[in-house]
Amino acid sequence: MTAVDDPVLVVDFGAQYARLIARRVREAHVYSEIVPPTLSAAEILARRPRGIILSGGPKSVYEGPAPTLDPELYRAGVPILGICYGAQLLARQLGGAVARTGRGEYGRTALSVTAPSPLFADWPAESVVWMSHGDSITEVPPGSVATAHSAESVVAAFHDPERRIYAVQFHPEVVHTERGAELLEHFLLDVCGIAPSWTHVSIIEQQVAAVRAQVGGERVLCALSGGVDSAVAAAVVHKAVGDQLTCVFVDTGLMRAGEAEQVEETFHRQFRIDLVHVKAADRFFDALAGVTDPEEKRKIIGTLFIRIFEEVARDLGAGVGGTGPRFLVQGTLYPDVIESGTGEAASIKSHHNVGGLPADLDFELVEPLRLLFKDEVRAVGEELGLPHEVVWRQPFPGPGLAVRIVGEVTRERAGILRAADALVVEEIRRAGLYRHLWQSFAVLPAVRTVGVMGDGRTYAYPIVIRAVTSDDAMTADWARLPYELVERIASRIINEVDGVNRVALDVTSKPPGTIEWE
Ligand code: XMP
């Protein structure tokens, strides 16, 4: 994905804050990108930003080495909005004062608007904002005017309209600031004068044009995983280059119920994409026979997946001197690009899908989603007509059901887990909870337990229900599913899935647990 012209740039003084601001700007239909504060003014201005937002951050302006900005930027006439740390930095660098008053503000705070400002155009005199600061701005820079205060901040906002510089001590990007979204819109539309044109349709148009320019008349390969990222990436590339695209779906026998059929239905029948469907379950079960160590399983699955992918690519004529596909589609998203820290092309992710594809396959990467956040990817997927089920599917680990089958992975045990998992998902969907949960699935432990069914004693597997809420999978909380729902899932699994006689609920958060059992 190539850069988009004339962005709003968010200078990153603290990753989560900057990311949230960038997302909010895009929600206002204005394209935004995150840049590090280490860029010089010339480098920032070379991007031709239509506005610049300085994010909050965890540092104090007094802390060494607290990040600063090239002050040349303040003379360029590009509208600037400083938020929290960004506001304090503006105050200090422009000649105002920031002090450690010892009276910070954290959480909901009453704000009084004291002077007219385009940012506060439709605000009442008093409103609730979200603050999180230890230092305070005590004096505005020469030429600036204070526009708001709070109980502990004599300057909760200031501006210098002539220089087009605006600063707020609170966080307009968080939902707890009552009119935060409006404030950002005022900055973007009224102060910067930007027409909101970043829409899902425009994203698609831009990316389709970029893919066409990159690929020309050559052939492109895409490995589908059944997940949303590879599906949307494939759909964008297909819109761009049509039947120059070949998709590969390796059915490992460890997919969720209906996944292989869904991929076939969506990509082959609906989109009429050239789809190579490799039915490789036997190879995977053979390779996994007798293996119980989780990392060993991952390695075996990853390696075999790569081997199969290479076979397909070779069959299609790829490789040194070959006439086959030279380009490989990768569903890299913007958070991965930011995390790589450089903004440079990310190399193929090792964690992606099934262990990552080998670099020595010698493909040039096509990454049509590399500037998008997950919610934008979903919106693009919807816009391109992908089924809701694909677009809203919960994340699924590359090694598939294998890391949810504790102990040996056999065809029989995978069958039990897949059937139980399908019932968990079906009931969670029916209860309207599927999209609210980060993941919800079944786990098959490596023990059997005694039960009674009818007149007989049973000795069969338990199934564990695992459902979590999370924002990013780094931490997670176990979902408080309604008891009636848990009961319905349990009784359906025991009655409908052969080989299961007991159901348990996992009530472990992450940390100390992980989301998956292996
Ligand atoms: P854990 O279990 O570490 O999982 O809390 C965090 C997130 O990562 C997914 N996951 C994987 N994804 N390959 C993947 O592509 C893997 O080997 C893998 N292991 C865990 C997991 O589903 C959760 O969303």
Our CA angle for 507, 481, 510, nearest 5°, is: 35
Helices 411-430 and 281-288 sit at what angle, rounded to 10 degrees?
A: 110
For residues 3-26, give the mean pLDDT.
Answer: 87
Amino acid residing at 188: L
| 171 counts as catalytic | yes
* Residue 17: count of CB within 10 angstroms of its CB: 23
Mutate to test the pocket of ligand 1, among 297, 515, 517, 518 (most ligand atoms within 8 A of CB): 515
Candidates 1.10.150.120, 3.40.50.880, 3.40.1080.10, 3.40.190.10; CATH matching 8-191 = 3.40.50.880
pLDDT score at 356: 54
The rounded mean pLDDT for the chain is 92
pLDDT score at 360: 63
Under the banding of pLDDT at 50, 70 and 90, the label for residue 226 is: confident
For residues 240-248, give the mean pLDDT.
Answer: 97
Q: Which fold has domain 200-391?
A: Rossmann fold (3.40.50)
- pLDDT of 349 > 50? The answer is no
Strands (E), 315-446: 327-329, 364-366, 439-443
Q: Which CATH architecture does the domain made up of 410-505 adopt?
A: 2-Layer Sandwich (3.30)
Under the banding of pLDDT at 50, 70 and 90, the label for residue 507 is: very high
- Residue 353 Cα to ligand 1 midpoint, Å, equals 10
Question: Burial of 175 by CB count in 10 Å (0-12 exposed, 13-18 middle, 19+ buried)?
Answer: exposed
Q: Is the CB of 475 under 6 A from ligand 1?
A: no
Q: Tens digit of pLDDT for each residue in 49-93? A: 999 999 998 888 887 788 899 999 999 999 999 999 999 999 999
Q: Tens digit of pLDDT for each residue in 460-474? A: 999 999 999 998 788
- Residue 360 Cα to ligand 1 midpoint, Å, equals 25
Atom of ligand 1 nearest to the CA of 396: 22
Q: Do residues 390 and 266 lie in contact, with contact meaning Cβ atoms separated by under 8 Å? A: yes
pLDDT score at 336: 82
Q: Output 318 or 242, whichever has higher pLDDT.
A: 242
pLDDT score at 192: 98
| 259 counts as catalytic | no
Q: Do residues 402 and 409 lie in contact, with contact meaning Cβ atoms separated by under 8 Å? A: yes
Q: How far is CA 335 from the centre of its chain?
A: 6
What's the 3-state SS for 385-401? CCCHHHHCCCCCCCCHH
Under the banding of pLDDT at 50, 70 and 90, the label for residue 340 is: low
Q: Tens digit of pLDDT for each residue in 27-43? A: 999 999 999 999 999 99
Q: Tens digit of pLDDT for each residue in 208-221? A: 999 999 999 999 99
- pLDDT of 156 > 60? The answer is yes
Please tell me if the domain spanning 200-391 has the same topology as the one spanning 410-505.
no
pLDDT score at 3: 57
* Residue 146: count of CB within 10 angstroms of its CB: 20
Under the banding of pLDDT at 50, 70 and 90, the label for residue 102 is: confident
Smallest CA-to-CA distance from 333 within 369, 381, 364 is with 369
Under the banding of pLDDT at 50, 70 and 90, the label for residue 368 is: very high
Contacts by 160-166 with C-beta closer than 8 Å and gap 24+? 160/94, 161/118, 163/74, 163/77, 164/77, 164/78, 164/79, 164/80, 164/191, 165/74, 165/79, 165/80, 165/82, 165/90, 165/94, 166/79, 166/80, 166/81, 166/82, 166/117, 166/119, 166/191
pLDDT score at 290: 98
- pLDDT of 348 > 50? The answer is no
Atom of ligand 1 nearest to the CA of 352: 15
- Residue 516 Cα to ligand 1 midpoint, Å, equals 6
For the ranges 20-34, 52-66, 237-251, 400-414, the lowest mean pLDDT is seen at 52-66
Q: Tens digit of pLDDT for each residue in 423-481? A: 999 999 999 999 999 999 999 999 999 999 888 999 999 999 999 999 878 889 999 99
| 173 counts as catalytic | yes
Containing 129, the helix (H) or strand (E) segment is: strand 126-133
DSSP, res 118? G
In the chain, where the domains are located? 8-191, 200-391, 410-505
For residues 342-364, give the mean pLDDT.
Answer: 49
Q: Which listed residue (133, 159, 171, 238) is catalytic?
A: 171
Cα(219)–Cα(316) distance, integer angstroms: 10
Helices 483-496 and 411-430 sit at what angle, rounded to 10 degrees?
A: 140
Q: Is the CB of 397 under 6 A from ligand 1?
A: yes
Cα(431)–Cα(187) distance, integer angstroms: 41
Ordered alpha helix ranges (H), 264-410:
281-288, 294-315, 334-339, 374-383, 388-391
Atom of ligand 1 nearest to the CA of 518: 2
- Residue 412 Cα to ligand 1 midpoint, Å, equals 23
Taken in order 200, 204, 206, 210, the sign of the CA dihedral is: positive
- pLDDT of 376 > 50? The answer is yes
pLDDT score at 342: 42
Q: Which residue has the tokens 């705070």?
A: 109
Query: Which residue lies with its CA nearest to atom 4 of ligand 1?
Result: 515
- pLDDT of 358 > 80? The answer is no
Mutate to test the pocket of ligand 1, among 255, 394, 409, 516 (most ligand atoms within 8 A of CB): 516
212 φ/ψ angles, rounded to the nearest 5 degrees: -60, -45
pLDDT score at 61: 82
pLDDT score at 345: 33
